Every structure is written in C-alpha cells, then in structure tokens.
Amino acid sequence: MTSSTPQTLYRKIWDQHVVTTRDDGTALLWVDRHYAHEGSFHAFDQLAASGRKVRRPDLTVGVADHYVPTRDRAKGSAEPEIREMIRLLDANTAGSGIRLFGLDDPDQGIVHVVGPEQGLTQPGLLIVCGDSHTSTHGAFGCLAFGIGASEVAHVLATQTLWQKPAKTLRITVDGSLGPGVTAKDLILAIIAEVGADGAAGHVIEYAGSAITELSMEARMTVCNMSIEAGGRAGMIAPDETTIGWLKGRPAVPQGQAWDAAVAQWQTLKTDAGAEFDREVRIDGASIAPTVTWGVSPEHAEPVTGTVPDPAQAGDPGRAAAWEAALDYMGLAAGQALSDIRIDRVFIGSCTNARIEDLRSAARVLDGRTTVIPTMIVPGSSAVKRQAEDEGLDRVFTASGAEWLESGCSMCAATNGDMVPPGERCASTTNRNFRGRQGPGSRTHLMSPAMAAAAAVTGHITDVRRLGDVR
C-alpha cells in the first residue's frame, strides 16, 4: 500500500518493516541484517538459557573487532578474559551457523567497516548491532541503530525488535566544504551547533549540497557520529554515489537482481513536502578544520580559535560543565587551540580508518617525521591490504608511525591499546569523555589529516598551514 501523504526517508523504511503495532504505537519491526561482535556473548547466553535457537542465522553476521589484538596477532591477547570473549564469538557463531569475520578471516575488521565493504549494508535495510555506532550504515540510506544485550537476544531468537517511532530532524548543509575541511570537521561543527543531546529522540536525515558532494566513506563518518549529537540514527538518501560504491561488492545482488535492487533504491528519498519535527540549516562554506577541547564532542571549535571561557557559557550549568572540562583537560580559557601540546596520535576507529582516511593522513606524513608516538590502525584487513598496495604503509613507517592490524584498538581501549594517564591524544575516534581511551586520558577529536599534522608538529595544528590539502 502506498501512502498519498509525503513521507520522509525514515518513515518509508519504518513502514516497510512493521510486522504489527501496539495501541501505544510501539511496533514490532523485521530486522534485515544483524551484526554481532565479541560483546554479544551475553545475548547468546540468554538464548541458550531459554532453550531457543537463532531464528535466522543467515541474517546475522559475526565480526571480531572490539577486543582483537593489533600487535602479534598470532599470539592472541595476553589477557585471559579477552581471549575467552574472542573464543566465545567463534563458538557461538559456529554453533549457530552464523558467518564470522574472525581473526583468521582475510576480511576481518571493524564491524562498521566490514559490513559496507562486503556489500552486506544496502539501502532500505533495517540494520541493528549491539554497538551505538551502528548509525554508520545509515550513510547508505538504511535505518541502522545500536541495541542493548536483551534486544540482541530478541533479534537472535525472533529476527524482530520492538521499537517506538522516533522524531525526525533534517540537517541541511548548504554550499561546499573548503580546502582541508573534511566530513569529520563537518560533523564536529554540527554537534557543536546542535549540542550533544540536541538530536535526542530523533533520527537525523542529512541533506544539502555539502552532503551530496561527500564520498561514501565521508558520509559514513557523518552518520557514525550522529550518536554524539544524541540522535537515534543518521541517514543519507541513496544516490548515484551510493550505487556506484556498492556495485560489484560480494554480497550485493548480481545481474537482473542488481537492476531491480537499484530501481527500488532510487525510490528511497524523502518526498517533496514531507514534514520533519525539526529542521537545522548550516553553511558548509563556513566550516573550518575543527577540534575538540573538552570532554564532550560538543566541546568543539575551529582550530583557529581559542579554548572558550566558562564566563561566556550563557548559563550556570553550562559554565560549571565547561569549568570541569577545563580542569580535567588541564587547559585554560583563552588558550589558543594551536598552542595545545599533544603526547600521542591515534588514527583509526569506525569513524576514520577507511582507505580515504589513510590517504589523507599519508599526504600529510609523506616526507615528514612524527615527533610523538603515532599509531595507525586500518579499519579492516581489506583496507590494510589496499593501503599496502598503494604504498601508504611505507609512508607511515618512514615517518616513524606504527602500522598495525585492523580492529577497534585505542578508540575504546578495550584491547590493551591505551593512552597513559594524563597524556593528550590527537584522535580520529568519535568520543572524548573522561577516560575513554584509558584511565586519566585526554582526547582531542579531529580528522585524520589534522591528527597527522599534530603527529609531525607535536601540537594541535591547522593542517592547511602545511600545504597540499584537498
């Protein structure tokens, strides 16, 4: 049945997945794709305790990423608890007939990198995973969001999930991004504008010329950090860029089935006249390379700026939060962001560890020497192979950076890769709250190019000052 009322992209996909709806509006939704990582063992335990089996093992995909070692992978983790979590993922997926991208798989990587590059993520699907950054997949015009352990168990047992509809927020970014300004700068600027809880209860649809000009990898960066604005999910309507990126990938339809899929994907866009609960409009040309100074992604400023003064916060609660952030970060109001010394650099994570991110970092590092410890962790084994085919690894190692195996690594600091207490890390990850990268760590979020610039200067640096920015 086709609605005569103009619909948003979110509502179209929602309606296509409703199995039944309760009187209070809560809907039972069919799940097209479920991604599971090492942390899913709780859900498998719940399933076993109830005597149930995985309903549709063909629609769940396992990926080892959060806890996997990035060094000496053949030896495995030195931590018994971590070794056991990886073993349980192997056992649970094997026992249920679920495809696993495990440590020995040539296509292993971070779940939010592997799914798209394998073509498992496709427009119009409803995708869930026990990880908040599942929103990444919304870059392909699908509805994708993170779920909790009990919800993971429900999906494993029934291939469905109870959800209440979200509100909708359209963020339109007009114009074009300037030289040296990336998707990471764009999303940090958006979060600084709307706030870390500004999109709470909403699914965000990104639109406007600055969005449609982005590559697929850049769109994934934007949707990935929708969660840092409080959003339930982020979405970008599929277009020719989407279709071109997916064509030929292992899991996408082939032949006539591909043509039929493309025809259906082309209908997945917000109708003219469809209403959103909120609208925000931003000038893309006004965005500069952006970094965080505090302990929330909304604590972000153009790199040309200064650490803000709590006296200018506008209300007592916000001023107190700024003061606490400055105290933790060891910074002073009015300090130039470019004067902040950095102790180490991490380039990686599901936000910024794809091939385009690595190329961006390599352009800055080429012919230069890192002056602080720098780790570069590719988003997948496939990305690692491609980077090595292109010679990027040689650029990294010649600069003095470490070139490691794929995984989440220092993003969540769950595999032993950590920032030592009190040290500052220029990081391409998505979160900068207290201790995110290790107890007492101080994280400054920025783009791969900006992180590379910090690696060769030892302080936060406007990458545009180093030349060769694109």
Read off the pLDDT of each residue in 8-26 and give the average, rounded to a whole number: 97
SS3 464: helix
Measured distance CA(303)–CA(299) in Å, rounded: 12
- pLDDT band of 26, cuts 50, 70, 90: very high
- pLDDT band of 172, cuts 50, 70, 90: very high
Closest CA to 454 of 466, 467, 468: 466
For residues 432 and 93, is the Cβ–Cβ distance under 8 A? no
What is the span of the domain harbouring residue 230?
Answer: 167-238+270-286
325, part of any domain: yes
Measured distance CA(69)–CA(75) in Å, rounded: 9
Same domain, 212 and 251: no
SS3 211: helix
For residues 460 and 303, is the Cβ–Cβ distance under 8 A? yes
Give pLDDT, residue 27: 98
For residues 27 and 21, is the Cβ–Cβ distance under 8 A? yes
317, part of any domain: yes
**Alpha carbon of 174 to those of 171, 194, 213, 283, 297: distances in Å?**
10, 16, 10, 5, 22
132, part of any domain: yes
Same domain, 43 and 190: no
Same domain, 217 and 200: yes
Q: What does 376-431 look like in DSSP terms, one character per residue?
A: E--SBHHHHHHHHHTTHHHHHHHHT-EE--SSSGGGTT-SS--PPTT-EEEE-SS-
Closest CA to 159 of 251, 33, 25, 10: 33
Read off the pLDDT of residues 242-261 as tens digits, 9 standing for 90 and up: 999 999 999 999 999 999 99
1, part of any domain: no
Q: What does 128-153 look like in DSSP terms, one character per residue?
A: EESSGGGGGGGGGS-EEEE--HHHHH
Task: State the CATH number of the domain containing residue 391.
Answer: 3.30.499.10
SS3 200: coil
Residue 83 has pLDDT above 90, yes or no: no
160, part of any domain: yes
Per the listing, tokens 């870390």 go with 196
Same domain, 107 and 20: yes
| Residue 433, CA atoms < 13 Å, CB-side half-sphere | 4
With a CB cutoff of 8 Å and minimum separation 6, the contacts of 340 are 293, 331, 424, 444, 459, 460
Average pLDDT of the chain, as a whole number: 96
For a pLDDT cut of 70, what percent of the chain falls above it? 99
Query: Residue 204 belongs to what H/E stretch?
Result: strand 202-207
**Alpha carbon of 458 to those of 248, 342, 372, 433: distances in Å?**
42, 5, 6, 22
Same domain, 434 and 316: yes
For residues 290 and 192, is the Cβ–Cβ distance under 8 A? yes
Give pLDDT, residue 3: 61
- Looking at the DSSP assignment, which residues form a beta bridge with residue 79? none
Write out the two tokens for 115.
């799914």
SS3 278: strand
Same domain, 410 and 337: yes
Measured distance CA(366)–CA(173) in Å, rounded: 32
Read off the pLDDT of residues 308-355 as tens digits, 9 standing for 90 and up: 999 999 899 999 999 999 999 999 999 999 999 999 999 999 999 999
3, part of any domain: no
| Residue 17, CA atoms < 13 Å, CB-side half-sphere | 29
Same domain, 229 and 278: yes
Measured distance CA(168)–CA(159) in Å, rounded: 25
Same domain, 337 and 391: yes
Read off the pLDDT of each residue in 383-412 and give the average, rounded to a whole number: 96
Residue 2 has pLDDT above 70, yes or no: no
SS3 163: strand
Give pLDDT, residue 75: 73
Same domain, 180 and 219: yes
* Least confident range of 12-26, 66-80, 155-169, 372-386: 66-80
Read off the pLDDT of each residue in 203-230 and give the average, rounded to a whole number: 98
For residues 70 and 405, is the Cβ–Cβ distance under 8 A? yes
Measured distance CA(434)–CA(436) in Å, rounded: 6
| Residue 234, CA atoms < 13 Å, CB-side half-sphere | 29
Residue 166 has pLDDT above 60, yes or no: yes
Residue 465 has pLDDT above 90, yes or no: yes
Read off the pLDDT of each residue in 204-223 and give the average, rounded to a whole number: 98
With a CB cutoff of 8 Å and minimum separation 6, the contacts of 51 are none
Closest CA to 269 of 120, 124, 122, 119: 124
For a pLDDT cut of 90, what percent of the chain falls above it? 93
399, part of any domain: yes
Q: How many CB atoms lie within 10 A of CB 69?
A: 23
Task: State the CATH number of the domain containing residue 184.
Answer: 3.40.1060.10
What are the φ and ψ backbone dihedral angles of 465, each rounded to 5 degrees?
A: -75, -15
What are the φ and ψ backbone dihedral angles of 455, each rounded to 5 degrees?
A: -65, -35
Same domain, 209 and 329: no
**Alpha carbon of 370 to those of 398, 402, 456: distances in Å?**
9, 10, 4
Number of residues in the chain: 470
Closest CA to 462 of 338, 353, 335: 338
Same domain, 280 and 297: no
Same domain, 62 and 79: yes
Give pLDDT, residue 1: 47
4, part of any domain: no
For the chain, how many structural domains are there in total? 3
Write out the two tokens for 57.
């093992």
